[in-house]
Structure 1
Amino acid sequence: MFLLKTFPLCEPAVLQLLRQFSTNTLPTLTLFTKDPCPLCDEAKEVLEPLKHRFVLQQVDISLPENKVWWDRYKWDIPVFHLNGQFVMKHRVDVVLMDKLLQDAETHQT
């Protein structure tokens, strides 16, 4: 039996709860990044209005287990893949991202 505690929820907590139950239907947006990465931080801010439409997965390319991604993207981060397919690098194109998310949403049904 699933039991929810009753307490005031702020919007981020509600979004987290909704994401937890809907991650199997949302597309996965993978951000290839490292720390520090000011352009990556900027890209995440630009994506903020769209964040309810995807699950963000971050891959730190500086970790030893991600050497293949380091070799591929070390000069290009941030790099984004949507559902495993390369979609953009360096800066977020919001119009393109919106179209790609619409396409992903259409093909889910």
Structure 2
Amino acid sequence: MTEKSWVLLEDNQFILYSRARCPLCDEAKVILEEVKRESGIGYKEIDIHSDDVLLEKFALMIPVIEWKEEIVQYGKADKSALNGLLQK
């Protein structure tokens, strides 16, 4: 399985790698929902426990936000920075 084979998404969508019982992940979801309401750009949430590769890769970094196949944030989500990405 290639690293990207578990997710096929539209280009104009954030990917949020998260897990259950993660307060920072919950905060990231709230921010991504705000961005979605304001910009129309949605997100897809993926639980890192659904794939051993993801778990190994992101276990200590979550939440991780990806945009156009690039990790753009991890740890604490920043709404201003996410909106800035949409301006590019």
TM-score tier after normalising by the smaller chain length: 0.7 to 0.9
Q: List gaps (5 residues or longer) in structure 2.
A: 1-8
Higher strand proportion (structure 1 or 2): 2
Deviation at 1:48, TM superposition (A): 2.7
Q: Match of 1:55?
A: 42
Q: TM-score, normalised by structure 2?
A: 0.77
Higher helix proportion (structure 1 or 2): 1
Q: List gaps (5 residues or longer) in structure 1.
A: 1-22, 104-109
What is the aligned length? Answer: 78
Q: TM-score, normalised by structure 1?
A: 0.63
Identity %: 29
Larger RCO (CA within 8 A; separation ≥ 6): 2
Q: After TM superposition, where is structure 1 displaced by more than 4 Å over at least 4 residues in a row?
A: none
Are 1:81 and 2:63 an aligned pair? no
RMSD: 1.9
